[in-house]
Amino acid sequence: MIILGIESSCDDTSVSVLKDGKILSVAVNTQLEHIAFGGVIPEIASRAHLKNFPEVLDKALKDSGITLNDVDAVGVTFGPGLVGPLLVGVNFAKGLGFSLSVPVVPVNHIEAHIYANFIDNPDIEYPFIVLVVSGGHTELIYVTEMGKYELIGKTRDDAAGECIDKVSKMLGLGFPGGKIIDELAKSGDKKFETFPRGMPNSLDFSFSGLKTSLKYYIERHDSEFLRNNINNIAASFLDSVTDSLVTKLFKAAKKYSCNTVLLAGGVSANSVLRSKISDQAGKRKMKVYYPHPKYCTDNAAMVAATAYKKIMTDGLEKYRFDSGLDAVPFLVLSE
């Protein structure tokens, strides 16, 4: 079975081809138009998706060696995300589904981030706790089977990725900040400064206090000091962000007597987070999984992989072509 995955919930235009559960290709165009603004501008993102989709599709097809006529189903992200960008992807998918006479499987973006873990590790056992950390989400979810999700912790304010991106902007490091701060922190001293850890006694998260603390720290120091110590500041800041994430993930695992933990979403590409979670899981003899870095940030491979799992669970019949399929910007995985 060949599935075409389509993703456009934010600023990445992506198409992927999957055959019988294996990724044959994934093409991603990360829009550079937003860098100058220090954040994603929804209207610009929608227009860029419209322009990018034909060439991203061509690349994904060429790299996989298949043609459109080989496609058995299309999987598309229909929420959550920015309404304009989602609408472009959903309508592109519906156009393909209609013209090829194949079903279109609607995929929840957060579910796709979770199932990105199964691309290289198809035998992960349930139940597990997954920490979803991206630019828009920071959530702890207890998963007993595909489709059964219990939300057990979430951010009360900023998402972790949002906090990292905003601090990067305050430090004049550019957007998006995750990869930049990750690189700088590698040669920094995490003990250089101690920044606050939000809501230490809860499974919920808070990153706005940390962001404010960085704001005052930057105001208190001159630009030469900040420039000379940027690696140390990045390392100390990341130590705080990741401490909160790791502590709560293992607290949740203990509470739910769960022996398997997963990471998902753009921030799960972070090297400090990955190594802290591996260390802690090793000490507790627990299993830990995180996606390959190329499947952490937004991509259509995770969408195709999730659509495939849904078809295998529910049968292709359930996903007859539906011209009424619409974008759902505030789609939830569980309450």
Q: How, if at all, do strands 104-108 and 73-79 pair?
A: parallel
Q: Which is nearer to Zn ion, 116 or 238 (CB)?
A: 116
Q: Which is nearer to ligand KG4, 21 or 38 (CB)?
A: 38
First to last CA, the chain: 33
Stretch that binds ligand KG4, among 46-54, 203-211, 263-271, 306-314 (CB under 6 A): 263-271
Q: Which is nearer to ligand KG4, 159 or 307 (CB)?
A: 159
Contact call for residues 80 and 11 (beta carbons, < 8 A): no
Q: Which is nearer to ligand KG4, 106 or 177 (CB)?
A: 177
Give least dist CB 134 to Zn ion, A.
Answer: 4
Q: d(Cα 134, Cα 137) in Å, to the nearest integer? A: 5
| Residue 201 burial by Cβ neighbours in a 10 Å radius (0-12, 13-18, 19+) | exposed
What does the buried/exposed string (b/e) look like for 24-51 if buried means 16 or more CB atoms within 10 Å of the residue's CB?
Answer: bbbbbbebeebeeeeebbeebbbbbbbe
Q: Is residue 139 a contact point for Zn ion (CB under 5 A)?
A: no
Q: Is residue 161 a contact point for ligand KG4 (CB under 6 A)?
A: yes
**By CB under 5 A, what part of segment 108-137 binds Zn ion?**
134
Of 97, 103, 176, 291, which lies in the binding site for ligand KG4, with binding defined by CB under 6 A?
A: 176
Q: Which is nearer to Zn ion, 110 or 253 (CB)?
A: 110
Q: Is residue 177 a contact point for ligand KG4 (CB under 6 A)?
A: yes
Q: d(Cα 139, Cα 309) in Å, to the nearest integer? A: 22
Stretch that binds ligand KG4, among 43-51, 157-165, 218-226, 326-334 (CB under 6 A): 157-165
The C-alpha R_g of the chain, in whole angstroms, comes to 20
Residues that bind Zn ion (CB under 5 A): 134, 298
